[in-house]
């Protein structure tokens, strides 16, 4: 990785690491744990310091992109305690954040243990009942939703960077670098992007903002895998038209290749999710809209559901241009016994245009 050869100078940390945002941006200090002569933990040929830095740089880029994207999200200024494979003491990290000064401090780490059976995600603040704990809880919830690893909970600890920062601070242990389960995600660049996005969503929620992925553009896209039902049907969700707040056409969404004569609903939300749901995966967050129940009709795998994500719906739910919507269709599958008796299409993500 290119950052491994870069040198470090205490006097130029702020100049190198500060990323200005629009005036009034909330100041976030991102702290990639370890670095330089301190490798942190290791496992399966991976060094914690490298994984921490990669996730942190991805989070920095998301915060910068969020600031530049005027359709949603927030405005941020970002300070990194390191952007290279540099040795930065705990005291230096805290001094940087305090002197800037940051408004929030987010430290990113990977966990480790001698027993490879130890696995999961946990997130720390110094004390309960604080602003730090509130930020910790949001970040933790988003990380669990993103990776779905064992939930080890939110915790308190007297880690130096949590005790000595003058602003609310959290420390994320995204997973165990020594776990054969967790390393599959820690070592995957796409998964590291997901966990960086989870941190962005957590920070956004903490500030009362709807989760917003900056730079989302282009036509509606599929973002999760459908569940094959007992009849061998693979439910599909498709679309026709454009989701716009003005114009003549409504946005027409169809779930098809559905088992015949089943009852189900479309679920729409402001955010994606990834959680077990009656034998499948529910790929939407807390619902924004649930449609009325429909019957699929048809025969075999030719059942169909239709819904118009209409301009009226968009107006009634106060959707603004740039809002990203995530949707999925689920229905009952009579070939399975509870709790696995549902069918699920893949998810559909789209942005509301002006």
**Is the pLDDT confidence value at 20 over 50?**
no
Catalytic hit among 48, 77, 122, 173:
173
**Is the pLDDT confidence value at 215 over 90?**
no
Q: Is 194 a catalytic residue?
A: no
So what's the pLDDT on residue 225? 87
Q: Is the peptide bond before 101 cis (omega within 30 degrees of 0)?
A: yes
- Name the average pLDDT for the chain: 88
Nearest to 202 by CA among 121, 281, 89: 121
221-351 to CATH, choices 2.40.440.10, 3.40.50.2300, 3.40.1010.10, 2.60.40.10:
2.60.40.10
Instruction: Considering only CA atoms, give the Rg of the chain.
Output: 22
**CB-neighbour burial class of residue 198 (10 A; exposed 0-12, middle 13-18, buried 19+):** buried
As beta bridge partners, residue 171 has 107, 124
So what's the pLDDT on residue 174? 98
Confidence at 281, pLDDT banded by 50, 70, 90:
confident
16: helix, coil or strand?
Answer: helix
The C-alpha angle 74, 75, 78, rounded to 5 degrees, equals 120
**E-assigned strand segments in 76-164:** 76-80, 104-111, 121-125, 151-156
Q: Is the peptide bond before 137 cis (omega within 30 degrees of 0)?
A: no
So what's the pLDDT on residue 163? 98
CA 41 to chain centroid, in Å, comes to 24
Indicate the Cα dihedral angle 164, 56, 149, 221, nearest 10°. Answer: 140
Q: What is the pLDDT of residues 217-262, one digit of tens each?
A: 667 888 888 999 999 999 999 999 888 877 666 889 999 999 999 9
The mean pLDDT value for 98-104 works out to: 98
**Is the pLDDT confidence value at 12 over 80?**
no
According to the CATH classification, is domain 2-206 in 3.40.630.40? yes
- pTM assigned to the model: 0.68
So what's the pLDDT on residue 93? 98
So what's the pLDDT on residue 210? 81
Instruction: Give the start-to-end residue ranges of the domains of the chain.
Output: 2-206, 221-351
Confidence at 26, pLDDT banded by 50, 70, 90:
very high
CA distances from 55 to 38, 168, 268 (A): 17, 20, 29
DSSP state of 133: H
So what's the pLDDT on residue 11? 29
Q: What is the pLDDT of residues 107-131, one digit of tens each?
A: 999 999 999 999 999 999 999 999 9
So what's the pLDDT on residue 320? 77
Q: What is the pLDDT of residues 170-186, one digit of tens each?
A: 999 999 999 999 999 99
So what's the pLDDT on residue 45? 98
């Amino acid at each position: 990785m290119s950052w491994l050869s870069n040198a470090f100078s205490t006097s130029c940390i702020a100049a190198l690491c500060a990323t200005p945002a629009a005036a009034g941006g909330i100041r976030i200090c991102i702290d990639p744990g370890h670095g330089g002569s301190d490798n942190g933990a290791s496992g399966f040929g991976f060094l914690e310091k490298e994984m921490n830095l990669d996730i942190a740089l991805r989070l920095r880029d998301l915060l910068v992109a969020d600031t530049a994207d005027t359709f949603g999200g927030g405005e941020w200024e970002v300070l990194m305690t390191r952007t290279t494979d540099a040795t930065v003491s705990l005291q230096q990290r805290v001094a940087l954040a305090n002197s800037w000064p940051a408004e929030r401090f987010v430290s990113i780490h990977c966990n480790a243990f001698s027993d490879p059976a130890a696995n999961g995600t946990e997130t720390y603040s110094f004390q309960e009942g604080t602003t730090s704990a509130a930020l910790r809880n949001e970040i933790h919830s988003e990380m669990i939703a993103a990776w779905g690893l064992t939930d080890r909970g939110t915790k308190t600890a007297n880690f130096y960077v949590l005790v000595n920062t003058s602003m609310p601070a959290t420390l994320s242990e995204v997973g165990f670098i020594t776990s054969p389960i967790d390393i599959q995600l820690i070592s995957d660049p796409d998964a590291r992007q997901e966990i960086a996005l989870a941190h962005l969503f957590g920070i956004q929620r903490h500030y009362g903002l709807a989760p917003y992925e900056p730079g989302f553009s282009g036509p509606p896209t599929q973002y999760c895998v459908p569940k094959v039902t007992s009849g061998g049907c693979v439910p599909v969700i498709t679309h026709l038209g454009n989701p716009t707040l003005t114009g003549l056409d409504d946005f027409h969404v169809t779930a098809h290749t559905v088992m015949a004569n089943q009852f189900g609903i479309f679920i729409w939300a402001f955010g994606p999710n990834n959680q077990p749901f009656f034998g499948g995966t529910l790929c939407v967050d807390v619902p924004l809209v649930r449609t009325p129940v429909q019957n699929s009709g048809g025969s075999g795998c030719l059942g169909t559901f239709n819904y118009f994500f209409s301009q009226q719906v968009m107006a009634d739910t106060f959707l603004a241009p740039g809002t990203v919507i995530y949707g999925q269709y689920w229905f009952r599958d009579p070939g399975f016994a509870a709790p696995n008796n549902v069918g699920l299409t893949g998810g559909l993500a789209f942005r509301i245009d002006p």
